[in-house]
Structure 1
């Protein structure tokens, strides 16, 4: 199979996750965090994406696909497009922007902030651990922390967050988040910073981290966040310290 077609098929499969969610969940099962229940079918695509990447670590065939895609992309690159450094945060930030615009999502500010924080904690821990464990060299040879893609994981964690919060308002909000996340993964490959297997695994980790965050929210809310204080205001924004980029969260309690 042509490497470009292979790339497109995998990225489209990640994007289609939002559509499958719509088919698998009825409104009765997805109105709020109190009745979000574990559904093994929702594990299929993120598990497949993660599995693809993990298998690719030792599969000569998948490594050849990685090289084929890298060679095909780099042949056409005139210059890097660094939009992925910012687009990774767009889906999660859009949830707060929509709420500020008066379009209310599923959860209030406090609950969704706890969920997002839990998701980012799970995602960051998993990505960082795998990078240190696998030590895969980046396509551009810049370092040995290529696997998995942290940018892609962040983008897909935010896309699933946006999906969960706004799919009952309009399915297009959730789909737009996945479009941005898919674009982020594509540009990580285009900019020669990640292999296809890195991007696939990052997407799976991001989706799964947010899924788990919603599933365990009742427990986290009850046993970790015992305070009855309400969040009166809050802000989520990207930060850059000269070496690393991330999301920062500031909450005001009353």
Structure 2
């Protein structure tokens, strides 16, 4: 059954959203056309394509089926029972940290002088938006679905918040550093997949929870890039509209700032 788990998650580790890369200019082409490092920050507006929704929709769809359909619920149980039988005393908090590792890697690489696809300012806004969208989606869905966790601790199992943030971060890392090396994105997705597996081993989530969380995370980052280009118009010397998410007193907010 663990082989089924790896077959479900690892293909997206190797080639997540690869269709979107084909339409983007190569890094070498950009540096030839422009002789300064800011050339990377002047890319064309992000466009949504139907293909970009295939992987996250499949993952979210699988997770939803696993909350109700008997066949998929049995897979949840089989995976959980196998893990508990083989590792009854497994406990770790590493997944609390690995979920943010891919996102932190983006800013660490920038600090070491390895330029991403976007400016640091855009990266910060996009990542904040991705975290805001994914967190709001997860919290509202948990309250709506109210699925019990495998360990019976509460009814906030679906979807996995850890997996959501991990895969949102991994997609963020992949999009920013595809032009440097595709292996950077693969590494980010490997960490995200590991985070999801650790949630299963900690007996905190079902397989469907992790799959749905991965889909929500990938989709949140994709939508954040699109929203950024929709609401952030022009450069520093032009009219600019920016959006930022917020959280206060258990309520999520969205703020707008207009500059002239």
Provide TM-score, normalisation by structure 1.
0.83
Q: Who is 1:46 aligned against?
A: 56
Aligned match for 1:126, one of 127, 133, 137? 137
Asked if the contact 2:166–2:192 (Cα under 8 Å) also holds between the matched residues in 1, the reply is: yes
Question: In 2, Cα distance between the equivalents of 1:206 and 1:164?
Answer: 13
Shifted more, 138-147 versus 28-37: the winner is 28-37
DSSP 3-state at the match of 1:145: coil
Q: What is the match of residue 84 of structure 2?
A: 74
Q: List aligned pairs for 1:106-121, cutoff 5 A.
A: 106-121=117-132
Counterpart for residue 247 of structure 1: none
Report the Cα offset of residue 58 of structure 1: 1.2
Counterpart contact for 1:29–1:35, Cα < 8 Å: no
Q: Matched residues in 1 for 2:220 and 2:95: separation?
A: 20
Deviations 1:87-144 (CA, angstroms, capped at 9, x unpaired): 0000000000011011110111111111111111110111001000000000011110
In our comparison, the structure showing a higher alpha carbon Rg is 2
Whole-Å separation in 2 of the counterparts to 1:143 and 1:210: 28
Given the alignment, which residue of 178, 184, 187 partners 2:195?
Answer: 184
Task: Name the CA distance, whole Å, in 2 between partners of 1:207 and 1:11.
Answer: 13
Shift of 1:24: 5.1
Would the aligned equivalents of 1:29 and 1:37 in 2 still touch at CA under 8 Å? no
Asked whether the 8 Å contact 2:95–2:198 carries over to 1, the reply is: yes
Structure 2 unaligned residues grouped into runs of 5+ = 28-39, 241-249, 251-260
Over aligned residue pairs, what C-alpha RMSD do you find?
A: 2.4
* Alpha-carbon distance in structure 2 between the residues aligned to 1:176 and 1:137: 32
Where does the alignment leave 5 or more consecutive residues of structure 1 unmatched? 229-243, 245-254
Task: With the length of structure 2 as denominator, give the TM-score of the two structures.
Answer: 0.81
Match of 2:10 in 1: 12
Q: Which residue of 2 aligns with 1:28?
A: 25
Q: 1:27–1:168: 8 Å Cα contact kept in structure 2?
A: no
Q: Could you say if the C-alpha distance between residues 126 and 64 of structure 1 is closer, same or farther in structure 2, counting changes exceeding 3 Å? A: same
* C-alpha distance after superposition, 1:178-206 (max 9, x if no partner): 01000000100011000000000000000
Q: C-alpha offsets along residues 137-190 of structure 1, whole Å, 9 cap, x if unaligned?
A: 000111100000000000000000000100111111111100100000010001
Work out the number of aligned pairs and report it: 226
